[in-house]
Amino acid sequence: MKEKTAEDFMRLALREAEKARVIDEVPVGAVIVRDGKVISRAHNLREKNQKADAHAEMLAIRKASSKLGTWCLDDCDLYVTLEPCMMCTGVIGLSRIHALYYGTSDPKGGTVDSLIQIKTIRHIGTYPKEIHSGILQPECSAILSDFFREKRKKKKRDRNEFRKAQ
Amino acid sequence: MKEKTAEDFMRLALREAEKARVIDEVPVGAVIVRDGKVISRAHNLREKNQKADAHAEMLAIRKASSKLGTWCLDDCDLYVTLEPCMMCTGVIGLSRIHALYYGTSDPKGGTVDSLIQIKTIRHIGTYPKEIHSGILQPECSAILSDFFREKRKKKKRDRNEFRKAQ
């Protein structure tokens, strides 16, 4: 059997993002992998769960820890479609994830390479040993921009209908 | 009835930290308050739960959201004995906590004022409107330094006993 590539795992993360999109959550997905096997998958569930921390990475990490019975995931890699936010960058470090692979950058909220360059902060120490970005970047970006474009269109439609009804 | 002060609520957070200490968890405690009433309390449970994200602030925020039925805690304040780490600083912002009160600084892991000065990062946007530090600082610091001193003593004792046994 051919060994799976980073792109293969990112494709699974994209499938998770798609599950979020279907239920009108911001479409971000994540997958955790150990020894070439998927340990957990998750997608953004903030609105459904009404929890601010229900981001794909956080949920995937929590599931992986439940499955493996340990908070320490230093033999696991994480694939996520969007550059992690501050909370998720933090928990990726705290859980000792070995390698982080992300799809597209988040210039407004990403704290791995965008708003903060995590590797430059001394003493934080517990960031992943490997960081790889730009895996399936066009697909990971498109699912988000399509989602927000649809949102804006809907908002405009609703506004027009509201005006007509008045 | 006299209105409760920040020190009163920090005392409750310290009680939570004490609960952590008793079960050999790093003694950090947190309390969430709305309209002068305690909504949730929590302490560090990383080892017991085997979850990297089981920090006092994270657990208190999750409990508060469960109780109030919303991820948005913009009418709530959070009291925590130690300066929040990156993950917790992130979730405090994401959950829109109104005011953050912390006890003692964490020069090695704090990302509100120490390693990162959260207010200086443009675009992050969602940090608390108010940040107050140094509430009951000596007590909040002492519970941590006593805990780690005991840990080091125990380690030394164990090492000596191991040597004797050889």
**Is there a binding annotation on residue B85?**
yes
Taking only residues 32 to 61 of chain B, the set having a beta carbon closer than 8 angstroms to any beta carbon of chain A reads: 46-47, 49-54, 58, 61
- Confirm if B43 and B81 have CB atoms less than 8 A apart: no
Question: d(Cα A155, Cα A142) in Å, to the nearest integer?
Answer: 20
Q: Which helix (H) or strand (E) holds B148?
A: helix B137-165
- Confirm if A61 and A55 have CB atoms less than 8 A apart: no
Mean pLDDT of chain A, nearest integer: 95
Instruction: Check CB contact under 8 Å for A52 and B58.
Output: no
- CB nearest to A123's CB, from B62, B87, B115: B115
Which domains does chain A possess?
A: 6-165 (3.40.140.10)
**Is there a binding annotation on residue A132?**
no
DSSP chain A: -PPPPHHHHHHHHHHHHHHHHHTTS---EEEEEETTEEEEEEE--HHHHT-TT--HHHHHHHHHHHHHT-S--TT-EEEEEE---HHHHHHHHHTT-SEEEEEE--TTT-TTTTSS-GGGSTTT--S-SEEEE-TTHHHHHHHHHHHHHHHHHHHHHHHHHHHHH-
Convert the pLDDT of each residue in B11-46 to its tens digit. Answer: 999 999 999 999 999 999 999 999 999 999 999 999
Active site residue A57: yes
This complex has an ipTM of 0.93
pLDDT band at A125 (very low <50, low <70, confident <90, very high): low
Which residue in B7, B57, B139, B161 is the catalytic one?
A: B57
Instruction: Check CB contact under 8 Å for B124 and A73.
Output: no
Q: Which one, of B89, B96, B97, B102, lies nearest residue B132 by Cα?
A: B102
Q: What is the reported pLDDT for B143? A: 98
Interface membership of A72 toward B (CB under 8 Å): yes
Give first-to-last CA distance, chain B, whole Å: 64
- Confirm if A98 and A76 have CB atoms less than 8 A apart: yes
Instruction: Check CB contact under 8 Å for B87 and A90.
Output: yes
Task: Tell me the average pLDDT across A114-131.
Answer: 84
Task: Tell me the average pLDDT across A42-57.
Answer: 98
Instruction: Check CB contact under 8 Å for B71 and A121.
Output: no
Interface membership of A122 toward B (CB under 8 Å): yes
What six digits make up the tokens of B161?
A: 């006993």
Each residue of A21-60: b (16+ CB within 10 Å) or e?
beeebbbbbbbbbbeeeebbbbbbbbeebebbbbbbbbbb
**Is there a binding annotation on residue B88?**
yes
Q: What is the reported pLDDT for A57? A: 98
